[in-house]
Structure 1
């Protein structure tokens, strides 16, 4: 194991402080690329389905499909990472997302809704992989800096996430010059970005952070030769109640965020706003999802994940109330509401990830993280599917307000966990 860990690197396998900075740099590069791929598809997915089907009621289906696809991908990426390390798991996920992007473009050219939905399902692998990359940032981090390491990986998505939606109009023009429907243009960017992210990880994520962390943990245990009852090789005791709480925080925030985000471009289109305006709002939203990550990570490390998780519920409530009250003609108020939506999601994701990372042992960490992300993806799929139906039946303000109220469920869950402690 030790000789394997040394392959391809000059850093000592006994000193993760030498390897961690390089690991974060590689992850940051791949996240910038994958963020562009993720954001570009999110911006026009609902509009592309609406254009093909001529109906708003199923406009939330693309979001539901690629989040459902991300659920299956989360299992696969988690299992590959568990067995072979983060590098092959993450690279395989991004390559699958690139294949899905190509399928969306072909479906648009053929005007084939069935192929579109299948391709969007496959495209969801990129979403799952983008999220799972955050765990790789924490594998070698010191216990008091794990949330900040996770945040460093997340914030890198901001650059690509902001660029992606704002490239929706230019890539649409490029697509039309190539004989492809304009709304499929952003998926050209998505496919290219996901493929490059896979290449970066395959070539440069060496040594593999998860495999190295296991090697170091095994060496520490061999030296300590202490009792292991209820503790794994990494010295972490599994606390099931905390695992459930961490998953619940991320599930609720994902459900609310996906539901409101999915229908915002459709809501704006109904009020006469073009792709550029909706792209700007989604770019602000995605920036708020990732840009505050360093601050959020510091808050989690300093004050604990429970307080930050409670803040997520309150922030999402404020977002829902503002989105419901904002006039459809006001791009500024919708942008502010979507910024709060992204910030609430960020609080929930970083806090929930910290809870999971602190309570799951290294021996089963990647597999458990994959299963947790499946639940997150299913929540996103549910939010995406229900959002179109709810807007069709009751309107966008009702959807936004319902999401805000639902997020308040985080408060009693956090309070109950604090009481148990």
Structure 2
């Protein structure tokens, strides 16, 4: 298609195919990360022999995603979305192999390295939502983005529930049962990488740039969102932060995305350990979990992940209809309700599960509305690098949340951990409320 001025119908066809392919790949990639999220803290305690390391896997995963966000964005900027996506998923595949080796050998360091690799895959999956809008018309961006985000639900919810089937696979292969889920994860990531490598042609980002280039020399046959300028530096933290600093709305959007992720990761990463103690009894942290405990943990984390992704199209619609800032407020109000239910209901597995579902829903509303507001609050030429900065800071926030959550859990208990989340959520909710009031006052002033 190079050198040919594409018609609107052809672009729509390529866009539909791109969104469909990204969605299917996200299903399989989600399977690759779900097991790590659900049993990572238990595996870390078993291999290290100390509850102090309970948050290590979640911390390293989120830190790996943070450190990979800008390099992957820069790689996609230079080589296209296909190369960036396949590279990230391939490193995640390597990560699952390292985790299997860590279980077999008992070497804790291999678990940490494997978690870092899976974190890189998480960064790639996050950036897939941006690949879905490279060729999308302006009025359809939200729908395209939310479709890809929603596709994560199938794989991510299935992942934690593969713990028991994975144990059967592990035994059949002569591996420890807890290694089995990561074998299935490896297969899912391999399928996702192959699908994108073979099928993401033409590359949506490169094609969008080609069309914009043609528009400069001829009457355009189709109106597309402006692609990023190829003259800009790729993956620049300084440049991204400079663009964000120029807009008060961008600051709020960044606070919403980062704050929601910190609260979600901090509470979610410690919930499996809390459930293990709750079901098995005090003093069982660090001991191998029984089958019943694993089922409860897997089911709870599945519900949480469903809350994160299943309603993403609804959150996209709400963002467009109710408003960006208003939906941010709804999201953080839901997050506060979530930590209240989970914290004060800590002695009930049902209450904890309900709290985790609300935690996922609040994260979804805050992240989708915050990401939309962020994209609209900076110039088109800075949008891609700002998206990379946002994903990087999300990862940093998640890493901090995961690293400190184990310490907070040890010192203040599960209720105390949830109350810390309530304080963070309340701060962002207050900032959003002040911003909304100020914006409405400006609109009411004549002239």
Check whether TM > 0.5: yes
Tell me which residue corresponds to 2:337: 318
State how far apart, in whole Å, the 2-side matches of 1:219 and 1:84 are: 19
Check the 8 A contact 2:90/2:193 in 1, yes or no: yes
Check the 8 A contact 1:58/1:389 in 2, yes or no: no
**1:295 is the counterpart of 2:314:** yes
Check the 8 A contact 1:27/1:153 in 2, yes or no: yes
Q: 1:221 to 1:42 in 2, by over 3 A?
A: same
- Write out aligned runs for 1:164-183 (5 A): 164-183=159-178
Q: 1:145 to 1:34 in 2, by over 3 A?
A: same
State how far apart, in whole Å, the 1-side matches of 2:4 and 2:108 are: 47
Tell me which residue corresponds to 1:228: none
State the Cα deviation string for residues 151-201 of structure 1 (Å, max 9, x = none): 100110111111111111210232133232322322212222112111111
State how far apart, in whole Å, the 1-side matches of 2:115 and 2:178 are: 14
Tell me which residue corresponds to 1:210: 205
State how far apart, in whole Å, the 2-side matches of 1:184 and 1:370 are: 33
Check the 8 A contact 1:218/1:233 in 2, yes or no: no
Deviates more, 1:212-221 or 1:369-378: 212-221
State the Cα deviation string for residues 1-23 of structure 1 (Å, max 9, x = none): x61689xxxx7478532222111
Check the 8 A contact 1:30/1:200 in 2, yes or no: yes
**1:343 is the counterpart of 2:361:** yes
Check the 8 A contact 1:214/1:363 in 2, yes or no: no
Q: Secondary structure at the match of 1:206?
A: coil
- 1:303 to partner: Cα distance: 2.5
State how far apart, in whole Å, the 2-side matches of 1:4 and 1:248 are: 42
Check the 8 A contact 1:50/1:58 in 2, yes or no: yes
Deviates more, 1:80-89 or 1:49-58: 49-58
**1:144 is the counterpart of 2:139:** yes
Check the 8 A contact 2:85/2:196 in 1, yes or no: yes
Tell me which residue corresponds to 1:264: 271
- 1:40 to partner: Cα distance: 1.5
Check the 8 A contact 2:228/2:384 in 1, yes or no: no
Deviates more, 1:262-271 or 1:107-116: 107-116
In structure 2, which of residues 247, 250, 254 is the aligned counterpart of residue 247 of structure 1? Answer: 254
Tell me which residue corresponds to 2:287: none
**1:93 is the counterpart of 2:95:** no
Check the 8 A contact 1:13/1:212 in 2, yes or no: no
**1:3 is the counterpart of 2:20:** no
- 1:405 to partner: Cα distance: 2.5
State how far apart, in whole Å, the 1-side matches of 2:376 and 2:213 are: 18
State how far apart, in whole Å, the 1-side matches of 2:190 and 2:227 are: 35
- 1:362 to partner: Cα distance: 4.9
Q: Secondary structure at the match of 1:409?
A: helix
State how far apart, in whole Å, the 2-side matches of 1:13 and 1:85 are: 22
State the Cα deviation string for residues 253-283 of structure 1 (Å, max 9, x = none): 1100001110111000011250000000000
- Write out aligned runs for 1:11-410 (5 A): 12=7, 15-222=10-217, 240-241=246-247, 242-272=249-279, 274-328=293-347, 330-410=348-428
Q: 1:97 to 1:397 in 2, by over 3 A?
A: same
Which blocks of at least 5 consecutive residues in structure 2 are unaligned?
230-242, 281-292, 443-447
- 1:224 to partner: Cα distance: 8.1
State how far apart, in whole Å, the 2-side matches of 1:5 and 1:91 are: 27
State how far apart, in whole Å, the 2-side matches of 1:346 and 1:115 are: 32
State how far apart, in whole Å, the 2-side matches of 1:4 and 1:202 are: 23
| TM-score with structure 1 setting the length | 0.91
Instruction: Provide the aligned C-alpha RMSD in A.
Output: 2.3
State how far apart, in whole Å, the 2-side matches of 1:208 and 1:301 are: 28
| TM-score with structure 2 setting the length | 0.86
Aligned residues: 408
- 1:390 to partner: Cα distance: 0.7
State how far apart, in whole Å, the 2-side matches of 1:399 and 1:109 are: 33
Which blocks of at least 5 consecutive residues in structure 1 are unaligned?
226-230
- 1:214 to partner: Cα distance: 2.2
State the Cα deviation string for residues 366-396 of structure 1 (Å, max 9, x = none): 3332222110001011111111111011111
